[in-house]
Structure 1
Amino acid sequence: MHLPGFKPEPETKAAEAEVEVRIRGLMMDPSTRQPIVVLNDLAGEIVLPIWVGLFEANAIALEIEKASTPRPMTHDLLRSAIHGLNARVTRVVVGSLREDTFHATIWMDQGGELVALDARPSDAIALALRSDCPIFISQQVFDHARRAADGATNLSPEDLRRWLESLNDDEMGRYKM
């Protein structure tokens, strides 16, 4: 299934140019007071900050902390709906950056058929955590973000990466919003 106007690359071709990431932490941007999800590749070489909304950051933090809520959250409902349709989320990919906005794809398997859904990265990440599936970024996203950072700051991408990696758990907020 593909949404109108949405053309994700086939999962097998796209996987060749992707890097698996984990959530390094959630923190608040000190200047905008907007939450940031900080992704880090498994080798610790790539750092990708993604600014998200407060509610989305809260949904991610709740799942990281395995906190329970009295009623299902939207991402819990989505996970249940996917399961009810005999599908499973296999991976999420932050695959493009267009006009300073990240775009993600949720990849699902429904009875052997691949299904791709267009999503905001924050929703895709929240669902990935609930579905216990891997999170990836495309090499194109990483390269594009690095070039954008070059023009937007005095820090080199390497300096920004080192700074983000040097933050201890207290400084990162250790998933607390």
Structure 2
Amino acid sequence: MFIEMVVKGLTLDPLTNMPIVILKDVEEKRVLPIWIGLFEANAIALELEKITTPRPMTHDLMRDLIVGLDAQVTKIVVNDLKNSTFYAVIHLSMNGNQVVVDSRPSDAIALALRSNAPIYVSSEVVNKARSIDVSQENEEADQLKEWLENLKPEDFGKYQM
């Protein structure tokens, strides 16, 4: 089963200063934080803020290549979680054929935003993510769990990338 999600915002992990993209299901019942790289966070932020750059950035180029090949991004799916690493795939439609391409979630999300494609997460990934790191018995994990549980809507976008 897949859960449709939207990008709720970007924030920084208060412990590591690593960017986190926050996905929230369309029913607003579940939240999924995914730690990403700074460059990918910047690419997502540029699209969320609708900031255009003088030259195409990598994800703009990907979108333009897909459109130029008369294809379209039909959806992206965050489909696995192994050893605290998320995995995703990009679903493309081209000439009546379906093509599935392996991707990092951050790249898939940046492309989905540019292509107006839906973002899905497998329910298995959401269930696994509940126990990543925060189930470990240590002070840092407890701090992170407390911070994630207390995130408020006004916290999104609070941090500059």
Q: Same fold (TM over 0.5)?
A: yes
Instruction: Compute the RMSD of aligned alpha carbons.
Output: 2.0
Change (3 A) 1:146 1:62: same
User: Is the 1:94–1:104 Cα contact (8 Å) retained in structure 2?
Assistant: yes
Residue of structure 2 in register with 1:120 after alignment? 104
Change (3 A) 1:125 1:65: same
Q: What's the CA shift for 1:168?
A: 3.2
Equivalent of 2:79, from 70, 84, 95? 95
State the alpha-carbon separation in 2 of the partners of residues 121 and 31 from structure 1: 22
Change (3 A) 1:44 1:162: farther
User: Is the 2:12–2:159 Cα contact (8 Å) retained in structure 1?
Assistant: no
Residue of structure 2 in register with 1:12 after alignment? none
TM-score normalised by length of structure 1: 0.82
Residue of structure 2 in register with 1:5 after alignment? none
Equivalent of 2:26, from 42, 67, 78? 42
Does 1:32 find its partner at 2:16?
A: yes
Identity across aligned pairs (percent)?
Answer: 49
TM-score normalised by length of structure 2: 0.90
State the alpha-carbon separation in 1 of the partners of residues 25 and 61 from structure 2: 29
Whichever residue aligns with residue 168 of structure 1, its letter is: P
Runs of 4+ in 1 over 6 A off after TM superposition: none
Does 1:81 find its partner at 2:68?
A: no
Q: Deviations over 1:45-92 (max 9, x none)?
A: 111100000010000000011101011000000001111111100000
**Gapped runs of 5+ residues in structure 1?**
1-16
**Gapped runs of 5+ residues in structure 2?**
none
Q: Count residues with an aligned counterpart.
A: 157
Does 1:168 find its partner at 2:161?
A: no
Whichever residue aligns with residue 150 of structure 2, its letter is: W
Whichever residue aligns with residue 109 of structure 2, its letter is: I
Q: Deviations over 1:124-176 (max 9, x none)?
A: 00000000010010001001111225513448x7x776523xx132x222584
Equivalences for residues 6-25 of structure 1 within 5 A: 17-25=1-9
Residue of structure 2 in register with 1:8 after alignment? none
Whichever residue aligns with residue 32 of structure 1, its letter is: T
Equivalent of 1:143, from 117, 124, 127? 127
